[in-house]
Amino acid sequence: MLTKDHLVASGTTLFRWRSFALTAFFPAMTIAILQGEWVELTFGDLAGRLTEAAALALIMLGLGLRIATVGHVPARTSGRNTRGQVADTLNTTGPYSVVRNPLYLGNALAYLGAALYTQSLLLPVLLALVLMLYFERIIAAEEAFLITQFGPRYTAWAADTPGFFPKLRLWRRPALPFSWRSVIAREHPTWAGAVVLLYVIQMATSYVEGASLSAQTGWHIALACAVTGQIVLMQVKRYTALLRVAGR
């Protein structure tokens, strides 16, 4: 098998399991958590707080990029489908005008932020290397599909638009107006997942360091809101048309 074909084949497999594939990285995160808040223990409280602030900023930047992308895309594009590729329209405006894979870039920033929140400096570096191989293969599979679907139109756009590192000077106004209802309908699992992951990291780290878990009131409230919001929005999507937007 040619190297290109191998990338596409492995990318197709990863695409189907992309919602769960990175759970294989949890053992490394567990090891980092068991070592305690390394930055704070080594360099002091201020360094620890700055590291956590930087981690949260990365997560918010990643989620913000996803919101900016999903808010403008039409139906049957940029979705959470896992059984096969779906693209009725080629997105080339808005975030897609400056980078071909804004959702994966947003994911990468959020993942790296979560890794940094453990205050391990090695974990984000290791995760970055894994993500390079991971996304390279998924993107190769998606590009093979899009070339088949859109042909010269896709290759012409891809020739001018970077794959992962944005060129802001290429910005073009989104073709569709922003829709918060579309964003909420599509992105609420991502937001809830981010809160749950940060909660687990915070609680596990506090436990390792002997801190009181009951005193983490803010985190308990955040988790309760995330879980409640997820349940409510799932029911709203299932039983009402409140979050449905024509063509989205």
Residue 248 resides in a domain: no
| 244: in domain | no
- Tens-digit pLDDT profile for residues 184-227: 999 999 999 999 999 999 999 999 988 899 999 999 999 999 99
Q: 229 — phi, psi (to 5°)? A: -60, -40
User: Alpha-carbon distance 214 to 219, whole Å?
Assistant: 10
Any idea what DSSP says for residue 24?
Answer: G
User: Can you give the length of the chain in residues?
Assistant: 248
| 72 SS3 class | coil
Query: Rounded distance, CA 112 to CA 56, Å?
Result: 10
Q: What is the CATH number of the domain that holds 105?
A: 1.20.120
113-159 tens-digit pLDDT: 999 999 999 999 999 999 998 999 999 999 999 999 999 999 999 99
> What are the pLDDT digits (tens) for 101-112?
999 999 999 999
Count of the separate structural domains present in the chain: 1
Distance (Å, whole) CA 118 – CA 74: 37
Query: Quick one: average pLDDT of 48-55?
Result: 97
Mean pLDDT value across the chain: 91
Q: Which domain holds residue 73?
A: 3-239
Cα–Cα nearest to 69, from 156, 159, 149, 176: 176
The answer to whether 15 and 139 are in contact (CB under 8 A) is no
What residue type is assigned to position 74 of the chain? P
Determine the Cα–Cα distance for residues 22 and 134; give it in Å rounded to an integer: 9
Band of the pLDDT at 93, cuts 50, 70, 90? Answer: very high
pLDDT at 35: 86
Q: Does residue 185 form part of some domain?
A: yes
Q: Is residue 245 part of a domain?
A: no
**CA Rg value for the chain:** 20
